[in-house]
């Protein structure tokens, strides 16, 4: 039941953040947020393989967003560090720890303002 609630919450967050990001033309940040949310949800469900792939996709977009938005660079750098940790833990099969890092990455992406 917790996994379903988490998935719904992550999906809602992604939808809300995605709408704001599209309005400000921040495509890479939106994509990074979407994949980080999916990585968190899969990690909490114990799906390390899926969490790994979404964390990697999020990292790719977060790096691109960091390059595009110099003023938000600090927060995107922090998001990238957490996504790299999420990937590391997902590769080791640690879904819960991977989810925590994905969540922290999303916090920094939101703070980047894009």
Q: What is the model's pTM?
A: 0.54
User: Under DSSP, is residue 35 helix (H, G, I), strand (E, B) or coil?
Assistant: helix
Q: Count the Cβ atoms, other than its own, within 10 Å of residue 98.
A: 30
Q: Percent of the chain, pLDDT > 70? A: 72
Q: Map out the domains of the chain with their CATH numbers.
A: 2-111 (1.20.120.660)
Please give the Cα distance from 88 to 82 (Å, whole number).
10
Check whether 9 has a pLDDT greater than 80: no
Q: Are 51 and 95 in contact (CB under 8 A)?
A: yes
Q: Percent of the chain, pLDDT > 90? A: 53
**DSSP H or E run through 24:** none
Check whether 22 has a pLDDT greater than 70: no
Please give the Cα distance from 14 to 19 (Å, whole number).
8
Q: Are 39 and 58 in contact (CB under 8 A)?
A: yes
Better-predicted residue by pLDDT, 67 or 103: 103
């Amino acid at each position: 039941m917790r996994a379903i609630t988490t998935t719904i919450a992550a999906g809602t967050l992604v939808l809300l953040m995605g709408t704001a990001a599209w309005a400000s033309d921040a495509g890479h940040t939106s994509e990074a947020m979407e994949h980080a949310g999916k990585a968190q949800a899969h990690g909490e469900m114990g799906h390390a393989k899926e969490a790994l792939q979404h964390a990697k996709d999020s990292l790719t977009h977060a790096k691109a967003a960091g390059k595009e938005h110099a003023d938000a660079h600090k927060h995107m750098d922090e998001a990238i560090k957490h996504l790299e940790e999420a990937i590391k833990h997902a590769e080791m099969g640690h879904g819960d720890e991977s989810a925590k890092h994905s969540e922290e990455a999303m916090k920094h992406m939101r703070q980047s303002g894009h």
